[in-house]
Structure 1
Amino acid sequence: MTIVETDLAAADPTTPPHPLASLAADEFTRIRDLVTALPDFTATTRFAYVGLDEPHKREVLAWQDGEGPLPERRARVMLLDMATGRSTDNVVSIGSAEAPGALLSTVVLDGSRGQLPVLIEEFEAIADIVAADERWVAALSRRGLTVQNVICVPLSAGYYDFPEEEGRRILRVLAFKQEYPEDHPWAHPVDGLSAYVDTATRSVTRLIDATDLPVPATSGNFDDPALQGPPLDTLKPIVITQPEGPSFTVEGETVSWGNWTFQVGFDTREGLVLRQLAWTDQATGASRPIIYRASIDEMLVPYGDPSPVRFWQNYFDTGEYLFGRFTNSLALGCDCVGEIHYFDATLADELGNPYTISNGICMHEEDFGTLWKHSDMFTGSNETRRSRRLVISFFTTVGNYDYGFYWYLYLDGTIECEAKLTGILFTSAYPGLSADGADYPYASEVAPGLGGPYHQHLFSARLDMTVDGVANAVDEVDVVRVPIGEGNEHGNAFTKGVTRLTTEGTSGRVADASVGRAWHIVNPSTLNGLGRPTGYVLLPQEAPTLLADPSSSIAKRAEFATKHLFVTAYDPAERYAAGDFVHQNPGGDGITRFIADDAPIDGEDIVLWHTFGPTHFPRPEDWPVMPVDYAKFTLKPYGFFDRNPALNVPAPGSSSSSSGAGAGDHCAHHGGDDVAGHVTGHAH
């Protein structure tokens, strides 16, 4: 078995890095040295975010075509002074070992349009801050608890126009009892109690002590053999091997597999980023672009419990928490199986120092069943081809939940993105049945006295499309019933309705399975062999959009989540669906701001923002640790090719059970009266 590792941030010192290459360790160091030497930098200043400030798409494409210079390497650096709360958003030129970089711009944030992301240092300070507050200690004491046997969970605050929070960095705190160090506290929520904390002044601004509910006594120790029960020992090993090695090649961040080429990148905020996905035409050797950049740019987890200590539970795990920094180091046999290529990820810590997450991204091939097959009754042809897919994935743990994001590339040109959700429910105390015997309407009882509040997971995929070039458009395609009548006398007819999306302001669309709604991304200026625009179709997985009231704070902060699709004209400054500064943002940024000018999107350089994800009514089976739940979307070629692009996939060999070409052709049979006659007989 071959295991290969690539450091995404490793750079050849003799070759200038690609304009979109992930920041390397030496670049992080140069950024740190430049920033810490600035006159406004203090001993209490922290690096809230450091990432590549990507050049404009036209500059990158011009350079690749030999028509423009190599774009300058720049970084975006967000700084927070822990003592004063002073926040700045900076752009620096990175420079090189020979030529120092420079500060290019600084914007001082006043907090009116949101705060910088929450720092790990702020999370770690919370327990001491609330332990020093007499009201918090007294509230715990009344419940028979102490600060020593309670875990404090700091959470993003949202925005509710509380006067004392204006311009301040606020976290909200819930408590969980922990019986002993190995005891999982999620099983023991201390419900009815919450503290609001100013992290800069290290003070509690408001204490909510609404009600006393019994602390659930159930066990959440899923890793305890006593709770797990007798092991299931009837499972036999499954061994996945590729004796000749994997079919992909890797050069730095560039991957080639089958007809596919693309670049693997990583960002502290978004995690895994795929860039410049393209399909190589085997006949001509031409590379046909499909997606310039694909990522999960935002992730919202809104909760539906309106109780006094929970109404504010709405988490933006990318914008508020930077979920890329919580990426797991993946392990062979646990997270990835087969012939694996790992990519390491290099980031900057809150002091600006580079560090590496080893094996942060996993890439491998998987067998995926039948690719295409037919047994013909007339010719006797009987052919089967097996499918395989290339998997590029990473896992991140944000508090109680674990999220895996898997991008799949297929031999027929299909692209999929799948989110896998597991980990531990965020719990509450279950208040029990009402006087009339009704269940509590906003949570499930998942264990005795333990609630699992209803919630959603709404992921935003940012898809910067370049289907055969940058001039793209989107058609909404619905199934249309045709009424019985002239031309449809027997009432069997149905057709499709096509609506071209023309401006940003009208691009907000909702999936509708009743009409099979899909969105076709086409290139009006590039025609296929049948004289029609080449394109890809986005197939959504229908699920509810944001369920909060449209006038609510969260709906204003996350307009992107109120629709399954928005389309905007490309702008390099428009990176995140909820805006740049999500923490305590009052709303009106992100998609709301992007579509305000109602720019044209018909035949333009466009970006799709697709919302997908499940609504979760927790089950007892989700406790004490959740089996994986899934959410995904699919992009399939639609007129991008003139025929099935997987016709040339070889038949599996007779000596191989894998999904690849072999020496034999036992899955391909031509001719034979017995076969034709047998099938024809069944046809009669």
Structure 2
Amino acid sequence: MTGPRLSKRAAPHPLDPLSAEEVVAAANICRAYVVEKGLEPHRFNTITVTEPTKAEQLAFERDGKYPTRMASVIMTKPPKSYPIELELNLEEGSVVSYKTVEGVQVAIIYDDFYEFGETLFKADEKLQALCKDFGIESMDEVAIDTWPIHPVDHELGSVHRMFMGLMYWRSSEFDNQYAHPLPWVPIMDVEARKVVRIETAWKGQPPFPKMNGNYDHRLLEGPPRADIKPLDIVQPEGPSFTVDGNLIKWQKWQIRVSFNWREGLVLHNVGYEDEGRLRPIMHRASIAEMAVPYAEAQEPHHRRLAFDLGDVGIGQLTNSLELGCDCLGHIHYFDAVLNNSKGEPYVIKKAICVHEEDAGIIWKHTELRTMHPEVRRGRKLVISFIATVANYEYGFYWHFGQDGAIQHEVKLTGEVSTTLASPEDAEDPRFGTLVLPNVLAAHHQHLFCARLDMAVDDEEGGRGLVVSEARPLFAPFSLYHVDTVALPEKDNKWGMSFMKQETDLTNEAKAARVVDPTKARFWKIKNPAKKHVYSGHAASYKLIPANTQLLLGLPGSTTFERAGFAAKSLWVTPYDDAERYPGGDYPLQNVKTGGLSEWTKQARPIASGNDPVVWHVFGATHLVRPEDFPVMPVETVGFHLKPVSFFKQNPAVDLPRTVNKASKLAGSCCTANGHANGTANGHSNGHTNGYTNGHAEE
């Protein structure tokens, strides 16, 4: 059947997210369809663009042939909450497919936090009575965080949609609720729309923590620091980047961005201009999943394992950024268009930030014979967004350097999730830290998985894929595991020789690897078809991991079964359009999530010609400190991608010589006798003359 079509307008790029108009059109198509089929009522979960298949996208880049504009819609049929998947043809106004997925639950959407946490949980009479006995007269003083349930005991599985509430007291609207945890954890049956049980680990009446733990400037007891002077980022001629639609050009980089409810920011078609041509580096890159398991196993807190992307969707929880606070300098923002449960579009203004940052010295050398220095300061382009997931903030930052390097960084901040300490934890808890008397912050992990669909110098057929009926996808990449090792004693006469040891990863089941800093381990994505003119090695990018811990859930546990992707640092799979999420499509309350740990059991080949996709797991094990409360200083995790035999030489060697004329001497510290004499005596006039001569024209 056909429904309302999208009005005629300029064709969007195939990778562009849906506009507000397209969200409305998609919702109307769905409404018309369910009315005609007698399937009402339905509730909208998510409406998002259907990205073209890789073959379609490459054909578009090669031939300019637009793929059909499609949308993916997930709905539910209340009171049930299993997903109903619809594929829509927006150009024809038609439903291409309608499929019910039994035995799983749709993700929590933004509306759920208010409908359940702020309304249905608080409306429960038993919960109201418990609060009143505790001295809380009004439920307006209560804050409830709606959490997904980790079905660790299999009792609360995926048949019925269940939420749990973590409860707190607030003395006022701006009071930090996490300083006042309450002892109860109510369990909500979403389909019945009622609290079915109220759990507590306590016997008897627990103490009520009322000590303030505020960070809001309106409630701080003392004045803020008064000795900080302004530090301005000034770009009088504007930024060095340009934006055309969703395409960003900066220095020699080109990056296309998109945004969706689940992953948030996605990068596409990342390339670097070199010797007159744009050389591809990545086809698509995103953070595809995140698991947050907690160490506290005392009931009822044993059910805390959140998949912040699959359970909720990091895109839905994205902040509207504030100019001059979240990003500094000359900023370009991208808005994000999402949908509510009625299928109506809403806009997160300033969801993605693009700006430049000083990156310190990118290279320097002083010729000792003449004392002439050549130094260049680097700059980086930063593309970022920040999301608030209940108590935590996550800032996701992609950094692009003038030397062709890419860095991904996640900044963790916000609030630690607190519970009321049990009597045995009142002095020295094993699984967390007391941040206030009787207030326990449990240790936990944040485990991220990046999905990197690489395109290292892969030019043929658009992005290097040969598209044909016989072999629709082909790419020449190979994956190598690289360690640095000492030579055996028999080959190492002086005991000082070491070399790199490369292992070709040819099978996805055997390619799963872990970080080993003792061997300076990294992984290399090679394009054997492109050889470096001097080294003779294949053009490559290396993935440099940080030294981060993996999943601590024991093999055989529900935690390990659900978050198995986080048991390895590296996974490699052959490209499959359907394999997008390492924790499975529907992880909410789902014990059998599928995903990477299941896909790789197929032991498919990933040798050159199978278009391998790289999955990298990294993260933080957070042993909570008292200094992480009342609000947590930023903790940073991430990884690097660096070129190896990709460029003929240092691609940043052509940076112009500049001196920042806004820089000034701070007081007299640089003219003190000790510093001045030491500089004069230690470096003589050669340094002064060399520097002066080298920069005189500037």
Asked whether the two chains share a fold, i.e. TM above 0.5, the reply is yes
Match of 2:546 in 1: 541
Over residues 9-56 of structure 1, what are the superposed CA-to-partner deviations in whole Å (9 max), with x where a residue is unaligned?
Answer: xx9965322211121122112111101111257665222111121111
Match of 1:405 in 2: 396
Distance 1:195 1:656 in 2: 58
Match of 2:278 in 1: 287
The verdict on how the C-alpha distance between 1:128 and 1:63 changes in structure 2, with shifts beyond 3 A counting, is closer
Equivalent residue letter for 1:254: L
Distance apart, 1:327 and its partner CA: 1.1
- Asked if 1:580 is matched to 2:573, the reply is no
Match of 2:470 in 1: none
Match of 1:396 in 2: 387
Mean Cα deviation higher: 344-353 or 264-273: 344-353
Equivalent residue letter for 2:442: P
Distance apart, 1:596 and its partner CA: 2.7
Distance 2:660 2:330 in 1: 22
Match of 2:67 in 1: 71
The verdict on how the C-alpha distance between 1:15 and 1:471 changes in structure 2, with shifts beyond 3 A counting, is farther
1:80-91 alignment runs, 5 A limit: 80-91=76-87
Out of 103, 115, 120, the residue aligned to residue 105 of structure 2 is 115
Identity %: 38
Out of 319, 335, 343, the residue aligned to residue 326 of structure 2 is 335
1:46-65 alignment runs, 5 A limit: 46-65=43-62
1:49-448 alignment runs, 5 A limit: 49-66=46-63, 69-95=65-91, 100-111=92-103, 114-126=104-116, 127-131=118-122, 133=124, 135-145=126-136, 148=139, 149-160=141-152, 162-163=154-155, 165-191=157-183, 193-211=184-202, 212-225=205-218, 227=220, 229-281=222-274, 283=275, 285-378=276-369, 381-431=372-422, 439-448=428-437
Q: What's the secondary structure of 1:227's corresponding residue?
A: coil
Distance apart, 1:677 and its partner CA: 13
Match of 1:457 in 2: 446
- Asked if 1:508 is matched to 2:512, the reply is yes
Contact 1:44 1:83 in 2 (8 A): no
Equivalent residue letter for 1:188: H
Q: What's the secondary structure of 1:38's corresponding residue?
A: helix
Distance 1:559 1:572 in 2: 21
Match of 1:36 in 2: 31
Equivalent residue letter for 1:569: P
Q: What's the secondary structure of 1:543's corresponding residue?
A: coil
Gaps of 5+ in 2: 1-5, 459-474, 665-682, 691-698
Distance apart, 1:313 and its partner CA: 0.3
Q: What's the secondary structure of 2:312's corresponding residue?
A: coil
Match of 1:566 in 2: 571
Contact 2:175 2:219 in 1 (8 A): no
Contact 2:246 2:256 in 1 (8 A): yes
Equivalent residue letter for 2:264: G
4+ runs of 1 displaced by more than 6 Å? 676-679
Mean Cα deviation higher: 364-373 or 647-656: 647-656
Distance 1:509 1:313 in 2: 27
Contact 1:298 1:319 in 2 (8 A): yes
Distance apart, 1:464 and its partner CA: 0.9
Over residues 498-525 of structure 1, what are the superposed CA-to-partner deviations in whole Å (9 max), with x where a residue is unaligned?
Answer: 1111111112111111111111111122
Mean Cα deviation higher: 467-476 or 439-448: 467-476
Distance 2:593 2:20 in 1: 36
Equivalent residue letter for 1:609: W
The verdict on how the C-alpha distance between 1:602 and 1:317 changes in structure 2, with shifts beyond 3 A counting, is same
Count how many residue pairs are aligned between Structure 1 and Structure 2.
643
The verdict on how the C-alpha distance between 1:619 and 1:489 changes in structure 2, with shifts beyond 3 A counting, is same
Distance 1:359 1:511 in 2: 36
- Asked if 1:17 is matched to 2:17, the reply is no
The verdict on how the C-alpha distance between 1:638 and 1:440 changes in structure 2, with shifts beyond 3 A counting, is same
Distance 1:543 1:592 in 2: 19
Over residues 39-80 of structure 1, what are the superposed CA-to-partner deviations in whole Å (9 max), with x where a residue is unaligned?
Answer: 2576652221111211111221122111x7321111111001
Contact 1:374 1:384 in 2 (8 A): yes
Distance 1:654 1:545 in 2: 43
Q: TM-score, normalised by structure 2?
A: 0.87
Contact 1:92 1:103 in 2 (8 A): yes
Over residues 353-377 of structure 1, what are the superposed CA-to-partner deviations in whole Å (9 max), with x where a residue is unaligned?
Answer: 2221111111111111101111112
Contact 1:272 1:394 in 2 (8 A): yes
Contact 1:131 1:147 in 2 (8 A): no
Equivalent residue letter for 1:490: W
- Asked if 1:651 is matched to 2:657, the reply is yes
Distance apart, 1:297 and its partner CA: 1.1
Gaps of 5+ in 1: 1-10, 659-671, 680-684
Distance apart, 1:348 and its partner CA: 1.8
Distance apart, 1:125 and its partner CA: 3.1
Q: What's the secondary structure of 1:311's corresponding residue?
A: helix
Match of 1:5 in 2: none
Q: What's the secondary structure of 2:598's corresponding residue?
A: helix
Distance 1:12 1:404 in 2: 36
Contact 2:82 2:105 in 1 (8 A): no
Cα RMSD (Å): 2.5
Distance 2:639 2:158 in 1: 39
Q: TM-score, normalised by structure 1?
A: 0.89
Match of 1:635 in 2: 641
Distance 1:279 1:109 in 2: 42
Out of 515, 524, 527, the residue aligned to residue 520 of structure 1 is 524
Over residues 558-600 of structure 1, what are the superposed CA-to-partner deviations in whole Å (9 max), with x where a residue is unaligned?
Answer: 1111111111111111111111111111124111232132111
Distance 1:657 1:571 in 2: 52
Over residues 541-567 of structure 1, what are the superposed CA-to-partner deviations in whole Å (9 max), with x where a residue is unaligned?
Answer: 111111111211121111111111111
Distance 2:397 2:146 in 1: 29
Distance 1:341 1:413 in 2: 22
Out of 607, 611, 622, the residue aligned to residue 605 of structure 1 is 611
Match of 1:531 in 2: 536
More helix by share: 2
